[in-house]
Amino acid sequence: MKKIVGIVDTMFASVDMYSIVVKSIKDFGASVNIERYTVPGVKDLPVAAKKLIEEYNCNIVLALGMPGPEPIDKQCAHQASQGIIIAQLLTNTHIIEVFVYLDEGKDDKQLYQIAKNRICEHTINALQLLEGKDTLSVNAGKGIRQGSPNVGSLK
C-alpha cells in the first residue's frame, strides 16, 4: 500500500509551495499518494496537519508557510510552530515545518530561490523519513541546512 504524504499550504504564501513539493516528489521518484489541505495562514497549519493525519491517514505531513517580516508575523509563526509540535506529539507523526520568512531574501529572486531550495530539501527529508528512522542518520552532525548554505561539521 502506498504511503500518503499530506501537504498543508496557505493562501498567505507568495510562492506556490504546493507545486514545488509535488515536483520534488516526482523528481525524487517516490511512489506516494498526496493529500492537500489549504488554509488561510500559518496559525491554521497545526489543525489542518492533525486532520490530515487523523482523518486522511497521512503518514507524514509537510506544513508550508511564508510568515511576513513584521514582529507580529514572527510571533504568529512561533505560535504556529508550537501548535505543530503539539500536533506531532498528539498524533505521534512527523509534521515537517517548512517556513520561509518574507524577509529572508534581499530581493524576490533570492527569496524564491531560498523557498524553492528549502521546500525541495524538506520534501526529500520527509520522503526519507517515510523509509524509516535511520535513513537520515548518514547526514547527522554535518551542519546541513535547508534553503541556505550548509555550515558543515566542526572537526
- Name which CATH class applies to 3-139: alpha beta
pLDDT by residue, tens only, the chain of 155 residues: 899 999 999 999 999 999 999 999 999 999 999 999 999 999 999 999 999 999 999 999 999 999 999 999 999 999 999 999 999 999 999 999 999 999 999 999 999 999 999 999 999 999 999 999 999 999 888 888 887 778 888 87
Of the candidates 155, 93, 84, the residue with the CA atom closest to the CA atom of residue 126:
93
Of the candidates 21, 23, 22, 94, the residue with the CA atom closest to the CA atom of residue 52:
94
Residue 146 CB coordination number (10 Å): 18
Nine-digit cell string for 146:
535547508
pTM of the model: 0.94
